[in-house]
Structure 1
Amino acid sequence: MFDLTGMTALVTGASGGIGSAIARALAAQGARLAVSGSNAGKLRAFREELNSDFGAKGGGDHVEITCNLSNSDQVEHLVPAAVDTLGKLDILVNNAGVTRDNLAMRMKDEEWDEVIRINLEATFRLMRAAARPMMKAKFGRIINITSIVGTTGNPGQMNYCAAKGGITAMSKSLAQELASRNITVNCIAPGFIRTAMTDGLPDAQKEALNAKIPMGRMGEGEDIGAAAAYLASREAGYLTGQTLHVNGGMAMI
């Protein structure tokens, strides 16, 4: 079940905590990956790790494609580069994103613009580009990583919440446009996920965060990777326009 052998995937922000967990989950199920990110050295090291651990099962070497999502020209070339390298594109995972937190009264225009450009606009451009080869193939899986705060809001993150909520709305619209071509478009909304950043928090702050979660702990990157592997699979073919909230019960939506 959830076997992705023979399928190809492009994962953005792949060398980060959640992104690498998603990439590893897809590769473990047999997909061949194009991993993308802006840090060439970090991305190359991760691609080599993927090839060492999962290269053979994926039917060929995984590849890396460096892309700065704030550069519209690079964004426009990312999907065509993935298709050229992989031969086709079955799965797109829009995971990359940035935060530029500030209270609304203090938020600078550039803090708003950067988050919207990278988190929302780049996701739109990549979905638009991926839709073309997927429509020709009459198959595709588009998975967008949003956030619980795109539903609940969060003080100091008007820009980030707007971008994540916008991705959810875009996904529902595109899901309706592409459903007849056997292409699904879904979101995963993580709650608190344990990362290198959260590991550095004081114990008291970690305890306060965990107290908000009925399961009493933060999630792991693997929890998001498992959700992505399901949504990418053939078995998830009747699920589209939906958001999987992976948050340990912190918000039951």
Structure 2
Amino acid sequence: MVNFSLEGKVALVTGGAYGIGFAMAEALAQAGAKIAFNCRSQKHLDDALADYKAKGIDAKGYICDVTDEEAVKVLVAQIEKELGVIDILVNNAGIIKRIPMCDMTVDEFRQVVDIDLTAPFIMAKAVIPGMIKKGHGKIINVCSMMSELGRETVSAYAAAKGGLKMLTRNIASEYGEYNIQCNGIGPGYIATPQTAPLRERQADGSRHPFDSFIVSKTPAARWGTPEDLMGPTVFLASDASDFVNGHILYVDGGILAYIGKQPK
């Protein structure tokens, strides 16, 4: 029988206060996992705890900067003390800076890489020893279509996500023998509050140009939703994916498979 249950498992979702991370944490909770998440401010923490409670989820929230290795060590130790050894790590925390490459400062580039690539390295490094001792573990890195495609103004983000794809494969290669599976989820364009301005109707009632562009490039002919990521997250976190390792599961409505329509 296929086992998608996460009963008794401890899951840490970085940046799980809202948006995609919150939906992934909700899915893990629905499958039976105990949820821990981090964010960087007290307000986000308080708001997220209220949102989890409204969903009937008894999540544990922590303030932690995932780029700070010592702070991450403290975080992991605290979670182990309060919930148990981490079985599932979802590296979701990330940022994007949409700046033309030649206008972007080196510090801005480094900040994106630090949060989107170095932090998942720090997080994985912190939880893998416990997973080895426990005899199993699941690491899910939130990659992106930008780990496969380029696009103007996202040089740092694409570089970081491309690196994260290869970090995912390397963790799988290095720690697969310890029954640790490390895979990625590559979301397509997801309808969240952050992307809402790109989907607003224009004054004449027409679609926003970017909205039209994305829908035309997506065989599903729509934006994704955070809920579209819930099933793939549970699959990669559960025993059902025990022989899936080093894989990037793109949840993109088919964009990466599609060359686009011929112009009329």
Deviations 1:172-224 (A, max 9, x none): 11101111111100000011000112222233231222111011001010111
Secondary structure at 1:185's aligned position in 2?
strand
Deviation at 1:159, TM superposition (A): 0.7
Matches of 1:222 and 1:246 in 2, distance apart? Answer: 11
Q: CA deviation at 1:84?
A: 2.1
Partner of 1:252: 257
Contact 1:35 1:47 in 2 (8 A): no
Q: Percent identity?
A: 33
2:18–2:48 CA contact under 8 A, matched in 1? no
Determine if contact 2:132/2:180 at 8 Å carries over to the other structure.
yes
In structure 1, distance between residues paired with 2:230 and 2:36: 16
Letter in 2 for 1:11: V
* 5+ residue gaps, structure 1: 56-60
Aligned CA-pair RMSD:
1.6
SS at match of 1:135: helix
Q: Is the 8 A contact 2:72 2:126 kept in 1?
A: no
The whole-number CA distance in structure 1 between the counterparts of 2:106 and 2:13 is 29
Output aligned runs, 1:160-175, within 5 Å: 160-175=157-172
Selected match of 1:83 from 63, 80, 83: 80
> Alignment partner of 2:256: what SS?
coil
What is the match of residue 15 of structure 2?
13
Q: Give the counterpart letter for 2:233 in structure 1.
A: A
Distance 1:102 1:200 in 2: 18
- Provide the residue aligned with 2:204 in structure 1: none
Output the CA distance in 1 between the equivalents of 2:248 and 2:35.
23
Q: Deviations over 1:15-69 (max 9, x none)?
A: 12101100111011110011111132222332343245344xxxxx421111123
Q: 2:226 aligns with which of 213, 221, 245?
A: 221
| TM-score where L is the length of structure 2 | 0.89
Q: Normalising by structure 1, what TM-score?
A: 0.93
**Aligned 1:1-253 pairs, distance under 5 A:** 1-55=3-57, 61-201=58-198, 202=200, 203-205=207-209, 206-252=211-257
1:238 aligned partner, one-letter code: F
User: Which residue is 2:203 aligned to?
Assistant: none
Kept after mapping to 2: 8 A contact 1:14/1:43: no
Letter in 2 for 1:50: Y
* Equivalenced residues, count: 248
For residue 246 of structure 2, give the secondary structure of its aligned residue in structure 1.
coil
Separation of aligned partners in 1, 2:40 and 2:184: 23
In structure 2, distance between residues paired with 1:146 and 1:222: 17
Look up the SS of the partner of 1:154 in the other structure.
coil
**Higher Cα radius of gyration:** 2
1:148 to partner: Cα distance: 0.2
CA contact (8 A) 1:18 1:225 kept: no
